[in-house]
A = this chain, B = another copy of it.
Amino acid sequence: MSEPEMRPKAEKLDAADELAGMRAQFVLDDTVYLDGNSLGALPRSVPGRVEDVVRRQWGSLRIRSWDESGWWTAPERIGDRIAPLVGAAPGQIVVGDSTSVNVFKAVVGAVRLADGGSEGRSGRDEVLVDATTFPTDGYIAASAARLTGCTLRPVTPDEVPDALSERTAAVLLNHVDYRTGRLHDLPSLTAAIHEVGAISVWDLCHSAGALPVGLDEHGVDLAVGCTYKYLNGGPGSPAYLYVRETHQPRFDSPLPGWNSHADPFGMTPDYTPAPGALRGRVGTPDILSMLALEAALEVWDDVSINAVRTKSLALTDFFLECVESYVPEGTVESVTPSPHTERGSQVALRCTDAGNVMRRLIDRGVIGDFREPDVLRFGFTPLYVGFGDVERAARVLGEMF
């Protein structure tokens, strides 16, 4: 098929799109923005809220805002707002710190949970980490392993079942691979990890807000994620930590800051951890960024994550179809799996000279990104990307060769 066939098809798909109205809630322009998996677009609800936080809450109320504007309880309140998007009941997620810092809390916490209070005598001294992971997870897991006396063993997710043993303390995996867009099988991998008595830690950066995660349903132990991709929280907005309710009483954070104390204003020299998810908190929450995120999450009020997933798959299907139609055979190769069960919300295409191709695409108003050494990465945010965008992106891509 070619342009005369694909354009009307895009129009038809857009006309039938239940989520089409959501686009109006974002600030967008006439480019095709396929980099929401790096930095989500600005929700219209954010600028006014941030202005209020700065001018009134900080400028006028000042310290009174810690109570009166709900600053103090923001980490757990916003955590509860994220919870339904990742299939978690309330009281298990706190927002704060970067993803890297939360990976550290989670991996050290997981090793300690697996150890079961035996002070290193459990024989569980191995941490498995996804060898294809976004690098920061690997670097931080190495540090967590070093500090807890464990060995770090990088394996591909496919190799995890065979690598698991009674030596395994914790396993850190990505739900969706940042480079290929491959969706890993969270339910079965979590079950395999549990079978040997180890603790699972899932990184949801590239899945939360794009597809259902089902943390509670699948028995995930610990999870982390960022909020600036499909959750549109803004550049470097705070990440989150999920600690399964049943693990909370024994969750032993390596970063026991005063915000995680049972009585933070008691200012006692002895540390007594707060009950529940709060023990994942560390220092004073970063209010400006955190309340911008809270405003950004309002766009989810009437959106079902299942509807988002349905559209996401339709968008990536249609993109692959358009690429096949517009792009000369043999010039690009998708490294994103075809089966829906193995695909996140992005499509990664390998091609020669990918860095230059992406620069030229951006010049033509199609915004994706380039990942070393040869990958064009296109992310599809169902809340604001339409099928017409998809058709245009593939058409412009075809003109590159």
Contacts and interface: CB of A to CB of B under 8 A. Distances in A.
Interface of A: 27, 29, 33, 35, 38-39, 41-42, 46-47, 50-51, 54-55, 57-60, 62-63, 65-66, 71, 97-101, 104, 108, 131, 134-136, 138-140, 142-143, 147-148, 154, 179, 226, 228, 234-239, 253-259, 261, 265-269, 271, 282-290, 292, 367, 369, 371-372
21 contacts: A27-B59, A42-B58, A57-B235, A58-B235, A63-B369, A65-B235, A100-B259, A100-B282, A101-B257, A135-B261, A136-B258, A139-B261, A139-B271, A140-B256, A143-B255, A147-B254, A226-B284, A236-B290, A266-B372, A267-B371, A286-B289
A288 to B, nearest CB: 5
B131 A269 contact: yes
Given A63-B367, A142-B256, 5 more contacts: A38-B63, A47-B59, A65-B235, A135-B261, A140-B255
B62 A367 contact: yes
Contact of A54 (B47, B253, B286, B290): B47
Contacts of A269: 131, 135, 138, 154
Nearest to A62: B39
A235 B53 CA distance: 10
Contacts of A108: 147
Given A51-B47, A143-B256, A261-B135, A42 B59 contact: yes
Copies of this protein, total: 2
B228 A284 contact: yes
Nearest to A154: B269
Q: Which interface residue of A33, A66, A256, A286 has the most chain B CB atoms within 10 A?
A: A286
A369 B347 CA distance: 54
Q: Which interface residue of A38, A54, A99, A234 has the most chain B CB atoms within 10 A?
A: A54
Given A257-B98, A287-B235, A55 B47 contact: yes
B235 A71 contact: yes
A20 to B, nearest CB: 21
Q: Which interface residue of A38, A99, A283, A371 has the most chain B CB atoms within 10 A?
A: A283
Contacts of A255: 100-101, 104, 140, 143
Contacts of A38: 63
Contacts of A63: 35, 38-39, 367, 369
A282 B98 contact: yes
Chain A interface, DSSP helix/strand/loop, else mixed: mixed
Given A236-B290, A287-B236, A289-B288, A282 B101 contact: yes
Given A147-B147, A261-B135, A54 B292 contact: yes
In the complex, the 7 A-B pairs of residues with the closest C-beta atoms, listed nearest first:
A98-B283, A100-B257, A100-B283, A235-B287, A136-B258, A42-B59, A236-B286
Given A148-B147, A255-B101, A283-B100, A62 B35 contact: yes
Contacts of A237: 286, 288
A206 to B, nearest CB: 14
Contacts of A62: 33, 35, 39, 41-42, 367
B99 A97 contact: no
Contacts of A253: 143
A99 B136 contact: no
Contacts of A54: 42, 46-47, 50, 234, 292
Nearest to A287: B235
Given A35-B62, A97-B97, A267 B234 contact: no
A390 to B, nearest CB: 18
A237 B268 CA distance: 24
A143 B104 CA distance: 13
